[in-house]
């Protein structure tokens, strides 16, 4: 077939003229990665040269890379905390950015138990929108005919708060869905959702999910792709269907809407979709009442070509479950982004999850790479490490991502470890290796070793009244059930065997641990219902010694052996589980409110 020259692109023949422009843009950016980066840095520095932060380091108007690298320190969030706090408290002077900080984006990464606050400026919305606009043109290269149907995407807004100085603080996707960029997006036949905006924007997660599911079922034959941001979100939708299909099919049969949906704008918009359809209700009820839910996605949405969910990084643990429910549909990971900055996209979105690489778009920010072997060494001002530029990273090497953004982060360590897999033109492509210091994660929560230690310390205080202490512990993110939950294995020293801890007391220990964990964890438990109750499994005394023996038998050095604080290696799990004497669950929800603890 002859390809229209207007539509031809090195990435492949574009589906339409709009796509051709987007692919052309990707080509231009990736061919000129280094010069685009140079320009981006110069733009950021010239625009923000008079900010308090940059003046402190005496750039004296320089916008070149050498001066920048020699004068500006590489930092972490905690280094920026005083500036962030001042902005949060209402200081509107140009501290980090010459453009006014429009709001804070609350990251799922935490600092001292609270979400990190990332400054952003109004125009960043355009940059994010631009990256989104590149996703379908790339997908259309691989999956034809997506303009002939719709996408069922489970998208949600989360709660927002204001800082003491009055700035909004909310997650980046909440900010995006509430923006005019999203709400009044022009019609694009390749990007039509079954979920009405009103349902996506409904802050009540039950009503939002219910409505999105209902609309998605009505349009079951039109649905060509199904997605959520992360794999955990899509599985939560499946679980929701398991719990609510009786009510959903009742509504479909009768053409009425459950009284649980009280939001007037949601009720209004569903009225357009809702009509009695007993045949559809029978079909869905028939599928949902079968014993096995294997392949349920394609049974209900038979024309689905792929699932659009992130399954890289911590989300890889959900691949087998997604395969089960979808009968092995392709999994597309389309983009790599964060609250700090949107980074890039996957130019080969139908690749296997283990082979996914993201191409960082050089126009999004200025990117540097800290060779990973250095990233565990504290950075000193006297001997700054050599950070590598985007176009100069080496294939096969691992780096920590360091960014300088238009919104006022300068040489900021994101904490993600990436491995270079190749290049598209002169832009490198990266495999997401992992986020640093994450021990446990179920949804967007990230619990590190210190947080787990603190939680165990706090909980074990409750055991003092029965003269018992925790001798050793380890943990495991159990994602076999939906939602997943944290499992903590405890080996106890019960000093008075007539007075061993009761089930109730150990349940209280579970809750005490949850109370100690960070706010993203507690929000997942309380507001999003994305994390199940924490479980303590008490193991027989001597179990951790056996664990050590096992590690040593596999070559660990006896002098250097340390108890792993998180396990996921099957033989170790089997050993631990075979020694469990009792298990206990958190009896209640921990405290969580949208407000930050001060
Ligand atoms: P947040 O700050 O809450 O927006 O989370 C951003 C973080 O999520 C990133 O820094 C990564 O650690 C992780 N993340 C985002 N996109 C991906 C992806 N495509 N694959 C793996 N991890 C991702």
Nearest atom within ligand 1 for CA of residue 116 = 2
SS3 label, residue 553: helix
Nearest to 407, CA basis, from 130, 170, 96: 96
CA of 231 to the centre of ligand 1 (A): 12
Å from CA of 186 to ligand 1 middle: 27
d(CA 560, CA 542): 19
Whose Cα sits closest to atom 4 in ligand 1? 338
Token readout for 303 is 């024309």
pLDDT at 379: 59
* Ligand 1, pocket residues at CB < 6 Å: 107-109, 172, 310, 312-313, 333, 336-339, 414, 416, 432, 435, 444
Ligand 1 atom nearest to CA at 358: 19
Token pair recorded at residue 188: 């694009």
Number of the ligand 1 atom closest to the C-alpha atom of 414: 10
Q: What is the 108 CA–ligand 1 centroid distance (Å)?
A: 9
Residue 497: its pLDDT value, please? 87
Nearest alpha carbon, ligand 1 atom 16 = 336
Neighbours of 256 (CB within 10 A): 11
Residues 507/586, Cβ–Cβ less than 8 Å: yes
Please name the residue ranges forming H helices in 289-344.
296-300, 319-326
**82 Ramachandran zone, left/alpha/beta (phi>0; psi -120 to 50):** alpha
At how many degrees (to 10) do helices 231-254 and 319-326 cross?
Answer: 30
pLDDT recorded at residue 383: 62
SS3 of 326, please? helix
d(CA 231, CA 226): 11
Question: What is the CA(282)–ligand 1 centre distance, in A?
Answer: 40
Q: Whose CA is nearest to atom 5 of ligand 1?
A: 338
The residues of the chain scoring below 50 in pLDDT are none
| Rounded (10°) angle between helices 205-218 and 264-271 | 0
Burial class (CB in 10 A: 0-12, 13-18, 19+), 578: exposed
345 Cα: distance to centroid of ligand 1 (angstroms): 12
Supply the residue whose CA is at minimum distance from atom 8 of ligand 1.
Answer: 338
pTM assigned to the model: 0.95
Model pLDDT, residue 384: 60
Q: Which atom of ligand 1 is nearest to the CA of 401?
A: 10
Distance 545 CA to ligand 1 centre (A): 37
Tell me how far the alpha carbon of residue 308 lies from the centroid of ligand 1, in angstroms: 15
């Amino acid at each position: 077939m002859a390809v229209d020259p207007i539509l031809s692109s090195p990435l492949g023949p574009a589906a339409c003229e709009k796509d051709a422009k987007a692919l052309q843009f990707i080509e231009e950016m990736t061919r000129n990665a280094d010069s685009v980066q140079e320009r981006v840095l110069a733009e950021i520095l010239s625009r923000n040269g008079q900010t308090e932060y940059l003046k402190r380091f005496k750039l004296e108007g320089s916008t070149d890379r050498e001066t920048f690298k020699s004068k500006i320190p590489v930092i972490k969030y905690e280094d920026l905390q005083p500036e962030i706090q001042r902005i949060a408290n209402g200081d509107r002077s140009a501290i980090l950015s010459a453009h006014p900080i429009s709001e804070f984006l609350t990251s799922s990464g935490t600092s001292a138990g609270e979400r990190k606050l990332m400054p952003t400026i109004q125009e960043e919305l355009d940059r994010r929108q631009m990256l989104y606009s590149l996703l379908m043109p790339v997908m259309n290269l691989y999956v034809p005919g997506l303009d002939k149907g719709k996408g069922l995407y489970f998208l949600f807004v989360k709660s927002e708060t204001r800082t003491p100085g009055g700035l909004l603080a909310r997650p980046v996707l909440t900010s995006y869905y509430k923006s005019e960029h999203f709400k009044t997006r022009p019609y694009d036949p390749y990007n039509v959702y079954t979920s009405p905006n009103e349902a996506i924007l409904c802050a009540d997660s039950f009503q939002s999910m219910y409505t999105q599911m209902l609309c998605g079922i009505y349009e079951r034959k039109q649905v060509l792709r199904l997605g959520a941001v992360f794999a955990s979100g899509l599985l939560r939708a499946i679980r929701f269907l398991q719990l609510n299909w009786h009510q959903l099919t009742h509504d479909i049969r009768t053409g009425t809407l459950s009284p649980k949906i009280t939001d007037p704008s949601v009720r209004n918009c569903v009225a357009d979709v809702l009509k009695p359809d007993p045949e559809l209700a029978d079909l869905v009820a028939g599928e949902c009442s079968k014993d096995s839910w294997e392949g349920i996605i394609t049974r209900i949405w038979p024309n689905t070509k792929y699932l659009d969910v992130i399954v890289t990084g911590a989300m890889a643990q959900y691949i087998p479950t997604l395969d089960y429910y979808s009968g092995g549909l392709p999994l597309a990971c389309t983009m790599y982004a964060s609250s700090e900055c949107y980074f890039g996209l996957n130019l080969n979105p139908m690749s296997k999850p283990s082979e996914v690489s993201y191409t960082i778009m050089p126009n999004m920010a200025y990117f540097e790479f800290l060779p990973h072997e250095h990233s565990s060494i504290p950075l000193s001002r006297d001997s700054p490490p050599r950070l590598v530029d985007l176009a100069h990273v080496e294939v096969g090497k691992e780096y920590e991502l360091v960014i300088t953004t238009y919104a006022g982060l300068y040489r900021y360590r994101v904490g993600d470890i990436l491995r270079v897999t190749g290049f598209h033109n002169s832009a490198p492509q990266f495999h997401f290796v992992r986020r640093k210091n994450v021990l446990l994660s179920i949804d967007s929560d990230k619990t590190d070793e210190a947080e787990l230690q603190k939680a165990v310390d706090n909980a074990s205080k409750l055991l003092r009244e029965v003269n018992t202490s925790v001798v050793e512990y380890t943990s495991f993110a159990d994602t076999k059930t939906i939602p997943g939950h944290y499992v903590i294995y405890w080996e106890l020293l019960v000093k008075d065997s007539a007075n061993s801890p009761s089930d109730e007391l150990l349940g209280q220990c579970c809750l005490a641990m949850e109370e100690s964990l960070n706010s993203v964890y507690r929000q997942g438990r309380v507001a999003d219902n994305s994390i199940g109750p924490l479980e303590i499994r008490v193991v027989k005394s001597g179990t951790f010694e056996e664990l050590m023996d096992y590690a040593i038998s596999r070559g660990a050095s006896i002098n250097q052996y340390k108890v792993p604080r998180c396990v996921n290696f099957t033989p170790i799990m089997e050993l631990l589980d075979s020694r469990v004497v009792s298990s206990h669950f958190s009896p209640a929800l921990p405290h969580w409110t949208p407000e930050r603890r001060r």
